Chain A
């Protein structure tokens, strides 16, 4: 099954990004596809490569990037929400790309499920 994911909060402040990541990993482990994760609202901060968590903490930005790398997950940061928050190509982490809200609607249309994580 194709499962799309919508992440509405940034890493660290809320658990939303952690939950979405764990869910995506489990879905892939069970043989499902996660073709796209769309990052909206403060969720765009998941794509900020300047994020530097302490060494004993998980690094969500890198974890997402690795998931994209290992499994071809399309990580899309919303352009409008991103610009507001200063997330642009020059600070975009590996594995992410910036695009429009149409990519969220398209994920809703093209996936069998769309699961939201947020605050």
Chain B
């Protein structure tokens, strides 16, 4: 099939990667992170949201040494800043429900209540949710 030619010249949209799944138990967190890194090349307004088990994606101290050899991608979240992806949000209710605080996270995040997260989600042009 021929590639479809999109009109994307000058288009800047609000993209949210809405992370709701824990890392390592499934591949979603790793593969969405690969998408996030690629998105940086397109100069869009990108943000990441961590809700539900998604908050476990940014835990400090992940060590995959005793697994089958799963790639430890936790440090990649710290590299996002270098890609100008600096809007990282954590839903307060999800964080607290898991007994966590900001100190547990490997990156600087903005912790916001569910009501603000709802408004943030509603304001996006594209939500890629895992």
Contact = CB atoms under 8 A, between A and B. Distances in A.
A102 B13 CA distance: 15
Contacts of B77: none
Name the 7 nearest CB pairs between A and B, nearest first.
A110-B6, A108-B126, A74-B4, A101-B38, A35-B4, A109-B8, A109-B11
Contacts of B15: 105, 108
Interface string A87-107: 000000001110111111111
Contacts of A110: 6-8, 11
Given A40-B31, A41-B27, A99 B3 contact: yes
A20 to B, nearest CB: 15
On chain B, which size bracket covers the interface? 20 to 34
A21 B52 CA distance: 29
Interface string B106-130: 0000000000000000000111111
B1 A96 contact: yes
Contacts of B27: 41
A34 B127 CA distance: 18
Nearest to B41: A102
A24 interface: no
Interface centre among A35, A80, A96, A105 (most CB of B within 10 A): A105
B6 A81 contact: no
Interface in A5-46: 6, 8, 35-36, 40-41
Nearest to B28: A41
A29 B11 CA distance: 28
B6 A109 contact: yes
Interface string B62-82: 000000000000000000000
Interface in B32-49: 34-35, 38-39, 41-42, 44
A68 B31 contact: no
